[in-house]
Chains A and B, each alone.
Chain A
Amino acid sequence: MVSKQASGPRMTIPTQLVLRALLADPTREMYGLEICSAASLPSGTIHPILARFERLGWLESRWEDVSPKEEGRPRRRFYRLTAGGAEQARIALAQATTPVSAIGLRPRPAGGLV
C-alpha cells in the first residue's frame, strides 16, 4: 500500500475538487452525494475517484449503521479520510500541476444533487 502512495493518483480537476471537499473537515464522515455537493460535481461522477482513493488507502468507507427496514430508506455508504490519507492528500493537492485554485473554479450553488 505504501509504495503506491508515493506516486499518488492523477490529479485531475474533479480529483482535486473531491480532495478539497474531503479535506475541509478530514475527520468527518460523508456519504457520496454529500461529497458531490461539497465538491460541486454532478451526482454519479465521483465513485471512480473515491474507489481510487480507497485503493490507495487514503480513504476508508463503511455502511451507515441503520436498519433500512426500520428507517424506511436505504442505508448510506460513509467515507472518511484515513490519517495517512489526509496527509497524502494535502501534499498531492499542493503539488498538483494544475491546481484548481489557479483556474478559478468555484463551487457552483447548484450542488451535486441532480
Chain B
Amino acid sequence: MSAHFAAMSTLYDEVKAAEQAAFAVVGHEFNLGSPKHLQEVLFNELGMPKTKWRIKTGYTTDSEALTSLLAQTGHPLLEHLLRHRDLTQTLDDAQRLDSAGDDKARSVTPSAAGLLTTAARLLPVASRDRYAEEYRSELWEITQAGAGRIAQLRYAFRQLCNSIPMGVAVRSLRRKSSASG
C-alpha cells in the first residue's frame, strides 16, 4: 500500500469516526452536511442559542457560528461537528488535487496534438490522414505510458522535424505505386 493511499484511508476513517461520535452524542443519525438537519438538531432538539438569521437558509450553521456556539455552551457535539467539517474539507481537497494530478499526467497536451496536426499537414495530401491518425495514436500511447507535457512536446517536435524526410519517402512511394499501377 502506498503512503499516499494509507494517508487518504486514515483521513477517511477519521471523518467516519467524527460522524459516529456526533451520532452518539445526539442519540440518532443525521446528515452532518445538511444545514436543515443541523438546525433541527442544534436549535430544536438541543435548544442551543439561535445564531444569525439568513433569509434563504435560516439560522446559520457555518464554522464561525459553530465555533461561537462551542464557546458559549461547550457542548461536545459542536467539537465533533467542527472536527468533521475540517476533516471533510481536507479529504475533499486531497481528492481534488489527486484527480487534478491524474488528469495532468494522463491527458494529451493540446499544443503537442497541434504540432502533430501541422506535421501531418506538411505531408502529401494522400498520406495526411493516415499519418495524422498514426501520430495521434502514438501520442496517446506515450501519454498513457506516463509522458508528461515536455515529453509529449518532444515527441511532436521530432515528428515535425521528420516532415521533410517523410514527405520525400511518401512522395516516392506514391510515384512508384502510380507508375507500377
Q: Does B170 contact A (CB under 8 A)?
A: yes
How far does the alpha carbon of A42 sit from the alpha carbon of B162 in the complex, in Å? Answer: 13
Residue among A1, A48, A76, A113 making CB contact with B165, cutoff 8 Å: A48
- Per-residue interface assignment for chain A, residues 37 to 50, with 1 indicating a CB less than 8 Å from any chain B CB and 0 otherwise: 00000111101100
- The number of chain B residues touching the other chain, given as a range, is 20 to 34
Q: Does B134 contact A (CB under 8 A)?
A: yes
How far does the alpha carbon of A33 sit from the alpha carbon of B131 in the complex, in Å? Answer: 14
Chain A: interface residue total (CB-CB under 8 A): 21
The 9 residue pairs across chains A and B that have the minimum distance between CB atoms: A44-B158, A51-B169, A74-B137, A48-B165, A55-B173, A44-B155, A77-B134, A114-B151, A52-B169
How far does the alpha carbon of A51 sit from the alpha carbon of B169 in the complex, in Å? Answer: 6
Q: Does A32 contact B (CB under 8 A)?
A: yes
Q: Does B55 contact A (CB under 8 A)?
A: no
Q: Does B159 contact A (CB under 8 A)?
A: yes
Q: A48-B162, A54-B169 are in contact. List 11 more A-B contacts (CB 8 A).
A: A1-B180, A44-B155, A47-B159, A48-B165, A51-B170, A55-B169, A55-B172, A55-B173, A73-B137, A75-B137, A76-B141
- Per-residue interface assignment for chain B, residues 157 to 169, with 1 indicating a CB less than 8 Å from any chain A CB and 0 otherwise: 1110010011011
Are B176 and A43 neighbours in the complex by a CB distance under 8 Å? Answer: no
Q: In chain A, what residue has the closest Cβ to B155?
A: A44
Q: Does B59 contact A (CB under 8 A)?
A: no
How far does the alpha carbon of A37 sit from the alpha carbon of B5 in the complex, in Å? Answer: 32
Nearest Cβ in chain B — how far from A69, in angstroms? 14
**Residues B128-181 near A (CB distance < 8 A):** 130-131, 133-134, 136-138, 140-142, 144-145, 147, 151, 154-159, 162, 165-166, 168-170, 172-173, 176, 180
